[in-house]
Structure 1
Amino acid sequence: MNKWKLYLINNEIKLDSRYYNFLSSMLDFIKDFYDDREETEKDIWYSKNIKGAKLPASGSGHGNYNAVNFTTIPLYYRETVKRYFRTIITKKSWMTCYNTLKYLNYFFKYLYSHKYQDGCIENLNRNDIEKYLYYVSNDRKGKNKTENSKYISFIRTFLEYIQMAQYDKAPKKEVSSLIFQDDIPKRELNKDEVKKAKFIPEPILKQLDNNIMNLDRSQFIPIYILLRETGWRGTDILNLRYDNCLESIWNNKEEKYNYYLCGEITKTGIAQLKIPIRNKVAEMIQKSIDKAKELSTEENNPKKYLFNTYDGKMKGKPLAKQSLLNTIKRLIVQKDIRDANGELYHFRLHSLRHTRAKEYVEQGMGISVIQQILGHQSLQMTVHYATVSENVLYEKWRNTEDLELFKVDTTTNELIEVDISSTEGKNLIRYEYVKKNLDAVRVPFGVCFKASKLPCKQQMNHCLTCASFCTTVENIPEYEEEIEKVKQQIEISNRCGRELWAEKNKQYLNILEKTLERVKEHKLVHKNGKSREDIV
């Protein structure tokens, strides 16, 4: 490259990117063409060459992110880092792997720029880590707290793994004594994240919905409608396949078939998520399926995408999310859709997801049901932006009723007054009293009695083992239904070759079955018992 630059200068040729890009592309081509090693043996791994990499439907995104480059890792530790990445490259999303390398690069750059040498990782001590923490706090001052925490947490995860796996170049001292939990900066508070949730104002939303049929690229109309209908991510909708995205299931209660949208949620590892949709939306999907079947061949749509690109350099990939966004922005200009400040509305695709979550809440849907529909991994993720408008909040508050000491007989559906002298009555009264006064949150299979000021560190499946969780016999049907669903999910995961998902679901199934046994035996299960009354 240096000789090439010198040649251009000597021949009085103006230096610009065209000449650099030409030679760089030629070198990359020659190197890749003649390098027949496995991709994971090389110093640069391209996403397209990694079998099993967890890529979004449209690929690895921008060209700047389609490869993980280990050439910036010090040569002494390069093989160690590559070995670690071989263990995570098919387990974590591509962008998580890409960012992990970014944080490791930052760490190694700090070490080698501060006179540390080869072998420094093996000999790390607490003093070295304290210096690094001080450097990060100053270098990243004023920047996103959640992002800042990753410059420490990802390093700790890496060091812990290579130590547990007994890598030759792992730290000699226990990582837990090098990096403490308190060293990791606190992430942004949930209330701050809620403020960042972008909801589309109702007047703007009505204008978009009323004018969406006027999009200048009609192939994007059904995609917008599905985003509005489901609240799924854009990549989830684009990842739909025409051979399995629509299913009709018999409803015994209504004695008719109901339609469900079926898709794989790659971000949270859900092999097949099914959510109910309206008949009109199902008709629209069926028309898209018929069109996709008519246009698709093994050459132009080998993966059977519902919304596919049939020609050009993007042939065989789904329609681009950015193209949809640009199309809607042109509609906003054309229809002169403006915000409260009189400016053309700044539209973001993910805002449709936030807005749909809020609509679900305002319609009275339970937070755990919303979580399942949106494909969230944890209940806390749903709570972040499942808020309601002030008017709906007032209506809910106005309709609040005082606690009544009655329960429903599930056989006769009649109200029965609770006998407060019995053990069952005392337990029920205490349960209802604490639930009311702690402003408890309804979660799958029960109620969370966590104090409102305490942050939730549990994910959905882990609520069953949380000390703040309470469950009763009224939740037994939920357990039985969930057990059947998890068994189906295990079967699907095994069929799709997703061993990791199958193993996780087996662990979840074991917790469900054991908890169900305890509920049937003890009627009411709550780890903290009466002690929770003390905090009211």
Structure 2
Amino acid sequence: MNSVKIQEIKRNQQSKYEEIIEYLKQDDGYWLNNDVWNIKDEVFDKEEYKTGIYNIKLDFIKNETLKNEIKFYLVYSLKNKFISLSVILNEYQFAIKYLVEFLKINSMDESTFKNFNIDNDKWRLFLINKGIKLNKNNKICNRTYRYSCNTISNFIKDFYDDREETEKDIWYSKNIKGAKIPASGANHGMNNLINFSKIPHYYRYMVKCYFKTIITKKSWNHCCQILNNLNYFFEKFYSNKYTDEFIENLSRQDVENYLYWLNNEYKDKNTTYKSKFISYVRTFLEYIQMAQYDKAPKKEVSFLIFQDDIPKRELNPDVIKRAKFIPEPILKQLDNNIMDLDRPQFIPIYILLRETGWRGTDILNLRYHNCLEQIWNNKEQQYNYYLCGEITKTSIAQLKIPIKDKVAEMVQKSIYKAKELSTEENNPKKYLFDTYEGKLKGKPLAKATLLTTIKRLIKEKDIRDVNGDLYHFRLHSLRHTRAKEYVEQGMGISIIQQILGHQSLQMTVHYATVTENVLYEKWKNTEDLELFKVATKTNDLERIDLIYDDSENLIRYEYVKKNLDAVRVPFGVCFKASKLPCKQQMNHCLTCASFCTTTENIPEYEEEIDKVKSQIEISNKFGRELWAEKNKHYLDTLEKTLEKVREHKLVHKNGKSREEM
């Protein structure tokens, strides 16, 4: 099924409807000339479909224009993989029957979707009368039936609308240049668009202006999530008798009302889920205030939404359970047998996942023309290989990480192969691991297929877990395992954060665990620091003078393992008691009593001081006195700590230098 680009048609035709007709003329006019499409016909890919239905019937639609508009939507969605053929066969064609009947019953314009406006409540009632079941939330069970009416009409209306995409109320990812969509596409069909129609008309333009600033910086799915949270924010205020201009006059009491509504409605949800309804709103309000929008809050946002209002984001038990590390015996068997994969094209993908710890979507998103780079190393006086790629989830445009020469050689071979096989038709986006033919032509190899292939290898090689069952492999476990290996190799946690492309240090720390054996070895290496001592008889911590200590009492390893965390953090090491929660997650570790820093961290201080000074200069330039003041306090802490480090070489709460601070 060869696809014709709509943009090319638009440049050559005058009438919008004629463009639709021109599009349907592809494949020798099959789509235009036939009102019943049989999946066994040549225009369809020759694959086995698990369905007893073979025909897509549109012959019941009497109006020719309406019928061609629906055809246009189906063909375009099918060719661009927005809808699967099985969904069209089993759901969409029946939903379209309901839609056409709905138009007749409600005496609506049956000739075109161009001016189509639907009452969602009437559509829902119509489907209920047709016997369509409701779910536990009192919504139409079948998502296709629930959304098809708006989805089809919005798509057609968008096509007829010649305005810039960002001027419309619905933005389609295909029309946003630079939109950060994963190589495998958005999560599902609904996520291919961003719909602002639920935002109150009074604030809609302002919200769209805000999204214009983030739409190419954040991932598309992240933008969808932000809009969902903003929709909730507006809906809560307007449904509770607030009116236009409520944002301009927002008070702390209003925010407390919002927090009350949120916590009552989502009292059974985890804190991570609820935190986004507050943090995303706060970020939005801070931006429109900083940008001096007319409808921004008059009061400083920091006095409206406090940091303590945002629940500490925690991984729920299910997510923690999924944060799984592959046992070493299993990992060795996988590594030793990976060359026996029955689909060899997946071998380099597995190796890169093991080598880098990147997400599967990030490896599959690599492009053959820019994924490998040689960078000069002044210390070693030679060029080193770096893997280069975009991390869409955390909006890193280009992340470069060093890789071994042997791995680089493998990547180079994959590049040569991709260049040899690629054409503008089968690989227009220059994917390193492309699908060169079939219905997924032009897309990277499928992550799900890689997982299935590895599971077949596990079964073939009889790789079993400790209970004797075939090992249950998760692709993301390779990422968690690599993070652990980085820690065990002694790599600093902030460096691991950069390599893995994590947005926050806390996420990296969550995966940064080590085995018991490595824990002992790392403890032995840090014992010489003599940051604290434990009395061998009482098993109690004793204050130690770092300068005059005679080192008679030895650190008890078992005590350390049981009672203390030892984690690399920016500027030093954290020795927090394991039973205590981290109080510095939203602040800086410099003010924490568990923090330790040495002369080896001096370059970090100097670099950070330069950055903070630059931030103060920018804040003053734009009249952000509050920001400038906060940064000045931070700068003062940095400079005082650096002075102490230079004077005493090591700063920790158990030393005199720490206590003097």
Give the AA of the match of 1:66.
Answer: N
From 330, 335, 353, the counterpart of 1:204: 330
Give the drift of 1:343: 5.0
Over aligned residue pairs, what C-alpha RMSD do you find? 4.6
Matches within 5 A, 1:228-377: 228-248=354-374, 258-335=384-461, 337-341=463-467, 344-377=470-503
Matched position secondary structure for 2:487: helix
- Structure-1 residue corresponding to 2:19: none
For structure 2, which runs of at least 5 residues remain unmatched after alignment? 1-97, 106-125, 133-141, 532-544, 612-630
Whole-angstrom distance in 1 between the partners of 2:395 and 2:179: 13
Give the drift of 1:191: 11
Matches within 5 A, 1:307-456: 307-335=433-461, 337-341=463-467, 344-397=470-523, 401-403=527-529, 441-443=567-569, 446-448=571-573, 451=576, 453=580, 454-456=582-584
Whole-angstrom distance in 2 between the partners of 1:429 and 1:187: 43
CA distance 1:124–1:220, shift in 2 (3 Å)? same
CA distance 1:114–1:526, shift in 2 (3 Å)? farther
Give the AA of the match of 2:101.
Answer: W
- Structure-1 residue corresponding to 2:271: 145
Whole-angstrom distance in 2 between the partners of 1:384 and 1:153: 21
Give the drift of 1:188: 1.9
Deviations 1:340-367 (CA, angstroms, capped at 9, x unpaired): 4555544322211100111222233443
Deviations 1:255-312 (CA, angstroms, capped at 9, x unpaired): 8765433333344454544433334323322221111111112333233221122234
CA distance 1:266–1:276, shift in 2 (3 Å)? same
Give the drift of 1:70: 1.1
Q: Does the aligned pair in 1 maintain the 2:530–2:546 contact within 8 Å?
A: no
CA distance 1:338–1:365, shift in 2 (3 Å)? same
Q: Does the aligned pair in 2 maintain the 1:471–1:519 contact within 8 Å?
A: no
Q: Does the aligned pair in 1 maintain the 2:218–2:392 contact within 8 Å?
A: no
Matched position secondary structure for 1:384: helix
- Structure-2 residue corresponding to 1:45: 171
For structure 1, which runs of at least 5 residues remain unmatched after alignment? 406-425, 487-506
Give TM-score, length-normalised by structure 2: 0.61
- Structure-2 residue corresponding to 1:423: none
Identity of matched residues, %: 70
Give the AA of the match of 2:172.
Answer: Y
Q: Does the aligned pair in 1 maintain the 2:572–2:598 contact within 8 Å?
A: no
Q: Does the aligned pair in 1 maintain the 2:372–2:387 contact within 8 Å?
A: yes
Give the AA of the match of 1:447.
Answer: G
CA distance 1:17–1:135, shift in 2 (3 Å)? closer
Q: Does the aligned pair in 1 maintain the 2:599–2:645 contact within 8 Å?
A: no
Q: Is 1:4–2:88 an aligned residue pair?
A: no
- Structure-1 residue corresponding to 2:192: 66
CA distance 1:305–1:463, shift in 2 (3 Å)? farther
- Structure-2 residue corresponding to 1:57: 183
From 224, 228, 244, the counterpart of 2:350: 224
Give the AA of the match of 2:335.
Answer: D
Larger radius of gyration: 2
- Structure-1 residue corresponding to 2:237: 111
CA distance 1:301–1:6, shift in 2 (3 Å)? closer
- Structure-2 residue corresponding to 1:124: 250
From 142, 163, 176, the counterpart of 2:302: 176
Give the drift of 1:237: 1.3
Give the AA of the match of 1:295.
Answer: L
Give the AA of the match of 2:171.
Answer: W
CA distance 1:165–1:525, shift in 2 (3 Å)? farther
CA distance 1:91–1:340, shift in 2 (3 Å)? same
Q: Does the aligned pair in 1 maintain the 2:648–2:657 contact within 8 Å?
A: no
- Structure-2 residue corresponding to 1:490: none
Q: Does the aligned pair in 2 maintain the 1:470–1:524 contact within 8 Å?
A: no
Whole-angstrom distance in 1 between the partners of 2:568 and 2:357: 21
Q: Which moved more, 1:447-456 or 1:39-48?
A: 447-456
Give the AA of the match of 1:284.
Answer: M
- Structure-2 residue corresponding to 1:411: none
Whole-angstrom distance in 1 between the partners of 2:411 and 2:396: 21
Give TM-score, length-normalised by structure 1: 0.73
Matched position secondary structure for 2:572: strand
Q: Does the aligned pair in 2 maintain the 1:145–1:187 contact within 8 Å?
A: yes
Deviations 1:405-454 (CA, angstroms, capped at 9, x unpaired): 9xxxxxxxxxxxxxxxxxxxx99779x9xxx999775456x424675544
Whole-angstrom distance in 1 between the partners of 2:162 and 2:598: 61
Deviations 1:357-385 (CA, angstroms, capped at 9, x unpaired): 11222233443443343233454432221
Q: Does the aligned pair in 2 maintain the 1:332–1:345 contact within 8 Å?
A: yes
Deviations 1:187-215 (CA, angstroms, capped at 9, x unpaired): 22899987662212233323433443343
- Structure-2 residue corresponding to 1:493: none
Matched position secondary structure for 1:263: strand
CA distance 1:458–1:189, shift in 2 (3 Å)? same
* Residues paired across the two proteins, number: 479
